[in-house]
Amino acid sequence: MSRFIRADLDAVKEYVPGEQPKDMRYVKLNTNESPFPPSPKVTEAVTKAAKTLNLYSDPELTALTAMTAKTYGVDAECLLMTNGSDEILNFAFCAFGSKNAPFVFPSLTYGFYPVFAELYGIPYVKIPLKSDFSIDVNDYRNVGANIAIANPNAPTGKILSVKDIETILSSNREHVVVIDEAYIDFGGESCIKLINKYDNLLVTRTFSKSFSLAGARLGFGAGDRELIKDLKKIKYSTNPYNVNSLTDAAGRAALEDYEYYMNNCSVIAKNRDFCAEELKKRGFFVTDSKANFLFASHLKLSGREYYLKLKERGVLVRYFGSTGAENFVRITVGTEEQMNTLLYETDKILAGE
C-alpha cells in the first residue's frame, strides 16, 4: 500500500476470487463455470467481430439489448448490459447505497456484497439464515434498508419462490431490492416480470454460468426504467464502453442459440440431482440446491480436509472457511464424467486411502 491511498480504502477487504491454478490439469469444480463450451455460433461471431476491433464498441449496445429484451419479454429501456453481473451489482451499490440508505443481505451469501458496501462506505447488516440454510422471508419485511438477495442463494443453492420475493418487494417500497439471479436458469423461477409491477426491483443476471461465457464478462440488470437511468448514470460516469465488441457479439450469438444453453442447464440440473443423491448415500449432508453447485458437508471430514484431499487428487472444489460454512465445500456441477470422478475420489478419501 502506498502512502497516497485514500484513508477509508485502507479498511476495505477486497473480494477473493476462486483459484484458477495452472500447476496441473484439475477437474475444475470450484468457480461454477459451465463444463460446456460456447456454441459454434459464438466462436464464429467473435472471430468476425475481431475484424473491427479498431473501432470502439457500441456504448448503447442497442442490438444486444434488443435481443435480451426480446428473450426475456421486457422493454429494452428496462435493461442495462454490463461487464459481468459483478458490474451491475457494483453500479447498484454505488447508485443506491449511502450512510442513510444501508444494505441488508443474508449472513451467508455472495461475498461481493459486503465488499461493495465497504468500498462505498455503505453501512450493512447481515441477516442470519435459518438452521436449514434457508432465508426467512419474515426477516426481510419492512427492513428500512436496501436489500440484496441471491436467488438461488450462493453458496447454499436454496431458492425463494416468486411469491416470497413479492412479499419482500411490497413491504419495502421505499428501498431497492436487488435479486441476483446468477443461477436462476438451473431450475428456479425468475422474478424478472415483476419489474413491471415494482419500481424498487432490480434483477441481475449473468451470461457467465448458464451461457458458458464466464471469460467474456457479460451480465445485465433489469428494472424500472427510472432505476435503469440511475444505473446508466454510473456507467457513463465511469466506463461508457463497458462491454467490449467481442463480448457484445458473443452475447448476441449466445441468445440466438438459447435452446442449446437451456438444454445444457437441464443436463447440469440432472447431474446435480444425481450427484446430491450419491453424496447423501455416502453420509453427506447436502442442501437442496437449485443452482449449478452443491453445498455439502460430512461428519467425519471437515470442509477444509475434504477440499485439501480432493485437491491432492486433482479435483478442485471451493472451500470458504467463513463462519457458518467451515464444514462445507461448494462443488460445481459439471459433466456426468466429472461428477463420477468426484464421487470416485470421495470414496477413496472416506476409505482413508
Ligand X SMILES: *Cc1c(COP(=O)(O)O)cnc(C)c1O
Is 28 in a helix, a strand, or coil? strand
Complex with ligand X: residue 122 or 301, whichever CB lies closer: 122
Burial status of residue 214 (CB atoms within 10 A of its CB: 0-12, 13-18, 19 or more): middle
- x/- map, 140-169, ligand X, by CB under 6 A: ----------x---x---------------
Contact (Cβ atoms closer than 8 angstroms) between residue 110 and residue 180? yes
- x/- map, 193-232, ligand X, by CB under 6 A: -------------x-x-----x----x-------------
| Residue 286 in grid coordinates | 447436502
Among the candidate windows 80-88, 133-141, 156-164, 336-344, which touches ligand X by CB under 6 A? 80-88
List helix spans (H) across the chain: 40-49, 62-72, 84-96, 112-119, 162-170, 225-238, 245-256, 258-281, 303-312, 336-350
# of chain residues touching ligand X (CB under 6 A)? 13
Complex with ligand X: residue 184 or 349, whichever CB lies closer: 184
Q: Which of 103, 84, 83, 78 is nearest to 93 (CA)?
A: 103
Complex with ligand X: residue 49 or 216, whichever CB lies closer: 216
- Non-local CB neighbours of 63 within 8 Å, separated by 6+ positions: 248, 252
Name which position in 84, 157, 187, 188 contacts ligand X (CB under 6 A). 84
Complex with ligand X: residue 155 or 349, whichever CB lies closer: 155
- x/- map, 28-57, ligand X, by CB under 6 A: ----x-------------------------
Cα–Cα distance between 50 and 59 in angstroms, integer?
17
The residue of the chain with the least Cβ separation from ligand X equals 84
Q: Which of 164, 170, 162, 171 is nearest to 142 (CA)?
A: 171
Binding of ligand X by 332 (CB under 6 A) = no
Name which position in 72, 103, 110, 133 contacts ligand X (CB under 6 A). 110
Name the site residues for ligand X (rule: CB under 6 A).
32, 84-86, 110, 150, 154, 180, 182, 206, 208, 214, 219
